[in-house]
Amino acid sequence: MCTVRGVTSTHDVSRHLDQELVEAERRQPFVSFTDPLRARRNFRRAVSLSRALRGPSPGEGNTKVEDTEFTAPGDGRKISVRIYTPVATAPLGTQEKQPLPVLLYMHGGAFVAGDLDTEHDRCLRFCRDAGCAVVSIDYRRPPEHPFPAPLEDCYSVLCRVAEVAESRGWDGRRIAVGGSSAGGNLAAGLALMARDRSGPRIALQLLLYPALDDRLTSESFRRFPRASGWDVEDSPLMWRHYLGDTPAAPVYAAPARCDDFHGVAPAYVLVAEVDALRDEGIDYACRMMRDGVPVELHCFAKAFHGFDLAVPQAALTRHALADQAAALKAAFGRPSRPAPARTGG
């Protein structure tokens, strides 16, 4: 499914938005990324506002949530993660326990902001609706830790998840990676890195309005300079923070610079119509398809960047989240092997 409707004005974008998004668009707190510390505070405030609009988190009652750490290979660095596990509702002993597929999730926040709480509700929903474990990664953030630190954290967690899968009751051959905005960049970079390093096989890359191209030259970038959810003036700042002293962006940092997608994991790509990042997401999806990668591309008409986080109660959000969960379920398919029987008291 791919639906795109034209927008003719770069000024009053609210008249092009879904009616349920308009009021929320006007209430969105301003988050500038000039000062990363202030951006982190304001970003948390925006997340709190969204949570207040939504109410109780979906899936809280039937999901186990565990904050823990994984150890990175080599230097032994600790990486904080939050693990979501569905709680079985069937009576004990009535069905064979199957290994759970796993989604590695990277939060958004222009690389510099966001934390494990940013997309807590989305992770709860994926756990419940896709029937999978979710490992949300608290990767290191720039400017204190520029590229490649955030991506290397994510790759370390990917490898660790594959290693401990059997002991945790996970299916190491059904691992997906996903993220929104900057997190979508990390998920795309992770898929490229896993291919090139012959790392764990990835079943799906779930890319939600991803930031992929540091060159900032797309038509939508010029067309929507003040669209809600993202101000294009922050884009050069975001990339400067992320790239640090890197002289030229490598493909793992800016996946849109990749020119060979053969062998990359299948993808689900979601973009929003009224979003400066729209066209780079569409172009990325099309170029993956040209190299034979199975891709499902969704462009949500009348939506802005991050709409499904900012307006959780909207019908468009419910539609988008249901699509994302369905894509995960389809990619995971059937269990690749039964879980080992557990005995003892």
Catalytic residues: 181, 275, 305
- Report how far residue 28's alpha carbon sits from residue 311's, in angstroms, rounded to the nearest whole number: 10
Give me the half-sphere count of Cα atoms (radius 13 Å) on the Cβ side of residue 87: 9
146 near 242, Cβ under 8 Å?
yes
Backbone angles phi, psi at 259, to 5 degrees: -120, 10
Residue pointed to by tokens 């109780």:
56
Pick from 198, 208, 335, 186: nearest CA to 267: 208
Tokens representing 19?
A: 């009616």
- Report how far residue 105's alpha carbon sits from residue 82's, in angstroms, rounded to the nearest whole number: 10
The DSSP bridge partners found for residue 179 are 106, 207
5 near 301, Cβ under 8 Å?
yes
304 near 272, Cβ under 8 Å?
yes
The DSSP bridge partners found for residue 83 are 66, 135
Check residue 255 and report its DSSP letter: G
